Structure 1
Amino acid sequence: MAGVHQPPNAPALVSFPDTDALAHSLAAFILKAQKDSLDKKGRFTIALSGGSLPKMLKGLVDNPSVKWDKWQVFYVDERVVPLDHPDSNHLACTTHLFSKVPIPAENIHPIDPTLLNDLEELSDAYEKDLIREFAQKDAARFPIFDLILLGMGPDGHTASLFPGHELLTEEDRWVAYLDDSPKPPPKRITFTYPVINHALRVVFVAAGKEKVDTLSNILDHPEAGLPAARVKPAHPGQLYWFVDDAAAEKVQYPRTPFKL
């Protein structure tokens, strides 16, 4: 991404004074990624997380530069609940973004709500949805998203990849399930590291003073191996942390100025 420079394979830490500035620059980053992707292949593939991330996408609402008909949207992870359940990542993204923009419904890929009682079948179905979108078009071992947006929990988890969980070592599946999430609800499906790390760009979004210790641990002490610190995209120089100054207060890791 032009204007953001960092050593190969090292994340770029970009800190903003408040969440409004963060959201504005995040939208600009997404639009640049969209343009690059549309220029190259005529479509834009993006995967979203839940949590506080959907609220940070407000800069895309009423933005005439977004080519919604070219987007294909997947979820990095999802809670195994009905699509209208308060815990649903799809509901959060719909509430804060999709209900406010003209994206075609068929361009959004939620989980199949008829398969909630069978975790293996549910995760297999979502993996097949990815295969339909990526396998024939890209001919790669793993899907190559143009952009994946991630959050970070206070325990350092990202997606539904939690500290000490067996899914941290999953190397083959694109989508895996768990029924023992330490954070409720217990049943979830999630992208695995190979999928996340094959993306062309990965952006973590973290804001608020409650993230300050975890963010410092991840960036200043990656050797501790927290799940978020294990995100290492195969494409050098394409890992970013978009944070606010409150979250970055204790971080010693060098900041990178943001320019497009």
Structure 2
Amino acid sequence: MTSTPQSTYNVYDDEQPLSTSLGYQLEKIINYLLRRSCADGVHHSVRNTTEQVAKGDQDLAASKQKQFVTIGLSGGSLVQILANTLPYLQLPWPQIRFFFVDERHVPFTSNESTYHAYDQQLFRQLPLTQDHVIKINADLTVEECAKDYEDKLRRLLQESSTNEPSAVQSTNDETFDILLLGMGPDGHTASLFPNHKVLDVDNCLVTYIKDSPKPPQERITLTLTTINKAKHVLIVAMGEAKSQIVKEVIKDKNEQYPIGKIRPAIKTQVRWYLDKQAASQL
């Protein structure tokens, strides 16, 4: 394992060990987040017991304890990688919620739909209900779809850290737990493309594009600002076609490409998972 001030990367011979390592890292992060939340709740309760009894208040710790971990999924090779590892992990499935870092604005029956790919290859292998997966409403216009998806994600963020019923509203903690990102040969990630105006959107969690340089043209995506607020960012890149950009981003610290702009503001480092071909220029 090699470290830089901004990122950590691991290199694997092929997809299988990469998939296994990524799965174990996810398991470690998920369990850590849930254990820490539980511990924080206990400490909070102990500190405030006397005061709460005096006031007749309910247990504040219970209302603030983390209810589940939020995991953002990306398409491409990540679908198969996760399908090869997640079903074999001992994860607390009732305490996990999946959503999509970006999505094509197409029907869920389309082979271009990221949700469709995950539903066919992964979700059906897991003990999930419809409530475990947050997805877009593809029947809406792309503008309406982005607004509706943002409302869903805001509700998800609020519900992830409270036992209380939530309303759709802005939250001060617009922070997802884990984002799984891929990278295109042009350096794009999510549906954030090089030199596209979508990179400058910073006043919302979710935005849309109608002129994607890669089909289909209409897409929904988390904004760069939203991605950079995540607690844990894991990036997978495979293939020699991506080696030049991998080198420029990891070694040269080039922020020209969207993937190079992934710099979370909090302490957690970005973790890269590379095969030998993608890492060949490092």
TM-score (normalised: structure 2): 0.82
Give the alignment of 1:94-109 within 5 angstroms.
94-109=119-134
Q: Which amino acid aligns with 2:130?
A: A
The residue number in structure 1 matching 2:147 is 124
In the alignment of these two chains, the number of paired residues is: 244
The residue number in structure 1 matching 2:70 is 45
Q: Which amino acid aligns with 1:112?
A: N
Distance 1:121 1:156 in 2: 28
Any idea what the Cα deviations from partners look like across 1:2-38, whole Å, max 9, x if unmatched? xx78455x11111112110000000000001110122
Give the alignment of 1:95-174 within 5 angstroms.
95-115=120-140, 118-135=141-158, 140-141=171-172, 143-174=174-205
From 87, 112, 115, the counterpart of 1:61? 87
The residue number in structure 2 matching 1:23 is 19
Larger radius of gyration: 2
Aligned residues: percent identity? 35
From 97, 116, 121, the counterpart of 1:72? 97
The residue number in structure 2 matching 1:256 is none
Distance 1:37 1:237 in 2: 13
Q: Which amino acid aligns with 2:14?
A: D
Distance 1:193 1:224 in 2: 13
Distance 1:55 1:230 in 2: 26
The 8 Å contact of residues 130 and 143 in structure 1, kept in 2 or not, is answered as no
The residue number in structure 1 matching 2:223 is 192
The 8 Å contact of residues 69 and 104 in structure 1, kept in 2 or not, is answered as no
Distance 2:199 2:76 in 1: 20
- Tell me: CA distance 1:212–1:172, structure 2 relative to 1, closer, same or farther (3 Å): same
Higher relative contact order (CA 8 A, sep 6+): 1
Q: How far 1:219 sits from its partner (Å)?
A: 1.8
Alignment RMSD (CA, Å):
1.7
Distance 2:29 2:14 in 1: 23
From 198, 204, 208, the counterpart of 2:239? 208
The residue number in structure 1 matching 2:54 is none
Secondary structure, counterpart of 1:61 in structure 2:
helix
For structure 1, the 5+ residue unaligned runs are 252-260
Q: Which amino acid aligns with 2:106?
A: V
Distance 1:164 1:141 in 2: 30
From 91, 97, 102, the counterpart of 2:116? 91
The 8 Å contact of residues 68 and 160 in structure 2, kept in 1 or not, is answered as no
